[in-house]
Amino acid sequence: MKGIIFKVLLEMVEDKFGYEMVDTIIEESKLPNDGAYTTVGTYPHTEIVTLVSNLSKHSNIEVAKLLEVFGEHAFSIFAEAYKQMFEGQNNAFKFLSSVEGTIHVEVLKLYPEAQLPTLVTSSMNNNKMVLIYKSTRAMSDFAKGLIVGCLKHFNEEASIEDLPLKEDQTEVQFTLTIKK
């Protein structure tokens, strides 16, 4: 898991709940690096799961919701940090459909060791888009948050309906319908 994700998460927690919360969940999570995350580093995926579940415990907000909010927030950070990725992109559907073909390809160029989820567009028209998320990490809620963030970024409104294709959430289908 890329360090930027951890940074974004911890910053978001600090913004919303204060540094005390950050400190609590880091302490509780018994992390090997004691929470010293850097954007360019790579860290085990389990650490983010531990952090989020501890956050959930202390904030009384369920993990899924936290992940979704986190995803939404992360998208805004990414959009700011990787502006070049958004060149020539003018709507959410187009951007989302290019994630697998361009963004993930670019990410892999930078970080060949990165283990990325796949987000395949299974069907798309002007009003409706069906995306299939696949990842052994089962972080579809985070993905959903990213999609929400993306829609917000392009100032679009759409309903998102998620349908697990596998019980363990390693495969989830998102159906996006533009609201008019």
Partner 1 sequence: MSKEIELLKRKFERERNARKEAEQLLEIKSLELYQSNLQLQKANENKEVIIQQRTDELRASETHYQSLVESISDLICKTTLDGKITFVNKVTTQTLGYSIDEIIGRHIFDFIAPEYKQMAHNFIADQLKYQNCISYIEFPLLTKQGDEKWLGNNIQFIDSKCLNCEKKYKKLAGKIKTIKGENCNFTEVVIVARDISRQKESEEINLRQSIQLEKFYNQQVIISEVALELNTLNSFPERVNLILKKIGKHINVSRVYIFENSKDNMETSNTFEWCNKGIHQQIKDLQNIPYVLIPSWKDKLINDRIIYSENINELPDDIKDILQPQGIHSIIVLPLFITNQFYGFIGFDENSADRKWDKSEIELLRTISNIVSNAFERRRIEKNLKLSEQENSAIIDSIPDYIFIIDNNNWITSHKGGTIEVFPFLKKNYENTDLYKILPEDIAQKLEIALNECRSNGHFQFEYECVREHLPSSFEVRMIRMNKYEIISIVRDVTSIKENEEQLKLAKEIAENANRTKSEFLANVSHEIRTPMNAILGFSEILLDKVEDKIYQGYLKTILTSGRTLLSLINDILDLSKIEAGKLEVEFEPINYIDIIKDIEQVFAPKIQKKQLSFEIITAPNLPAYIFMDEVRFYQILFNLVGNAIKFTKKGYIKLETNFELTSDPDKINLIIEIEDTGIGIPKDQVGLIFEAFTQQSGQSNRQFEGTGLGLTITKKLIQKMNGTINATSQVGKGSIFRVDFKDIQLAEIKSNNDKSNDLNDRQIIFEPATIMIVDDIDFNIKVLKTMIEYEQFTFLEAYSGESAIEMLETETPDIIFMDIRMPGMSGISATEIIKDKMNSNTPVIAFTASAMQNQLDLIKNLFDGFLRKPITKKTLTQTLQDHLKYSIGKPLENENEKDHKYDFKEDENCINVAPIVLEKIRKELLQEWENISGNLVIFEIEDFANKLEKISTEYDCKVFIDYSQNLRESLNSFDVELIETSLFEFKYIFDAIEKKHKKQI
Contacts with partner 1 by CB under 8 A lie at: 19-20, 22-23, 26, 33-41
Nearer to partner 1 by Cβ, of 4 and 148: the residue is: 4
Q: How far is the CB of 127 from partner 1 (least distance, A)?
A: 44
Q: How far is the CB of 19 from partner 1 (least distance, A)?
A: 6
Nearer to partner 1 by Cβ, of 24 and 169: the residue is: 24
> How many CA atoms does the CB half-sphere of 130 hold within 13 Å?
7
Q: How far is the CB of 157 from partner 1 (least distance, A)?
A: 38
Q: How far apart (Å, rounded) are the C-alpha atoms in residues 29 and 17?
A: 17
Q: How far is the CB of 23 from partner 1 (least distance, A)?
A: 5
The four Cα atoms 92, 98, 103, 105 give a dihedral, to 10 degrees, of: 170
Nearer to partner 1 by Cβ, of 106 and 157: the residue is: 106
Nearer to partner 1 by Cβ, of 38 and 123: the residue is: 38
